[in-house]
Amino acid sequence: MDNFTPISALIGGGLIGVSALILMIFNGRIAGISGIFARSLFQPTQHRWQLLFLVGLMLGPWLAFGYHLPSSIDLTWWQVIIGGFLVGLGSQLGSGCTSGHGVCGIGRLSVRSIVATSIFMASALITVGVLY
């Protein structure tokens, strides 16, 4: 377990939770990344905060911890595009993504979000079991 980092995981999880809470309190919005991303694409002038949220989402780890992206991945561009499409399709079919359901929905004790997150996690476990 070379990647077992419980302290940084707890700090990161806490920051995600606090950020979601701040967004809910001050803006009345759920921090569902797929919805924020979609609205920033299709209504960019009406939702400038969403663009700032996405920029902060990408720059935050880098500024705080010097996070570096992998220099190479073992996938072709077509696999990345198809994977991104399937993730977007799943978010649409599930009426939200793991951040909206998992972080915000479970925190609000939403039954729909608990069921959706359980399905996300079961699918992930099955996929890892099949592939590895």
How high is the pLDDT of residue 122? 92
How high is the pLDDT of residue 67? 66
- pTM passes above 0.85: no
Angle between helices 77-93 and 33-42 (to 10 degrees): 100
Q: What is the pLDDT along the chain (132 residues), one digit of tens a residue?
A: 567 788 888 888 888 888 888 888 888 888 888 888 888 887 767 677 888 888 888 887 777 767 666 677 788 888 888 988 888 787 777 777 777 888 888 888 889 889 988 988 898 899 889 988
d(CA 132, CA 129): 5
The domain limits of the chain are 6-131
CA 63 → CA 46, 85, 94, 108, distances in Å? 27, 29, 32, 30
How high is the pLDDT of residue 19? 84
Q: Are 89 and 95 in contact (CB under 8 A)?
A: no
